Structure 1
């Protein structure tokens, strides 16, 4: 499962949803080469593994949540469980 996240629906789609199932959140941008490589890989994994939900948030269209979560470079991937970040990686 894959969902598109915005600053407006972030709380519901990431924080609240992660209380039911882990949410892997990908901060990305269309101009980011590494994002264009990583994105399809994450999407493929999400289609074959239902233990988590893949969520994607564009840093071009949404600036509030990336700033709130300290996203300074992309791709930036954070794993949420029970409303909290439990793991993450950059690049």
Structure 2
């Protein structure tokens, strides 16, 4: 199955994420995490709809080094990296609209006003 979400690993995290020329949204995930599985189609949609944002997921069980490096303890944890630095972090599953609103400044957009 082809996906627009990159499977990141400890071995290539620095190259794929920290040195990316685009801001990168990384989901720290695990196979046993139900909410993480629910986020998969949402992340795929974001990856397709936001070409200025790279999207990746990192399995914390297979890649514990990167999770430990950033102090990730809960899944799903989302971190946005820009120019090699984490610039945003949030924990827990959420709808696409909420993620995009939280990333509006990273994406250079004004957040939508919702009532």
Q: Return the TM-score normalized by structure 2.
A: 0.74
CA displacement at 1:71 relative to structure 2: 0.3
What is the alpha-carbon root mean square deviation over aligned residues?
A: 0.9
Unaligned runs of 5+ in 1: none
Task: Tell me if the contact between 2:29 and 2:60 (Cα under 8 Å) persists in the aligned partners.
Answer: yes
Q: CA–CA distance in 1 between the matches of 2:37 and 2:48?
A: 17
Query: Which residue in the other structure is 1:6 paired with?
Result: 9
> Going by fraction, where is strand more abundant, 1 or 2?
1
Aligned residues, how many? 89
Matched, 1:72 2:73: yes
Following TM superposition, where does structure 1 have runs of at least 4 consecutive aligned residues deviating by more than 4 angstroms? Answer: none
Q: Return the TM-score normalized by structure 1.
A: 0.92
Unaligned runs of 5+ in 2: 93-115
> Which of structures 1 and 2 has the larger relative contact order (alpha carbons within 8 angstroms, sep 6+)?
1
CA displacement at 1:39 relative to structure 2: 2.0
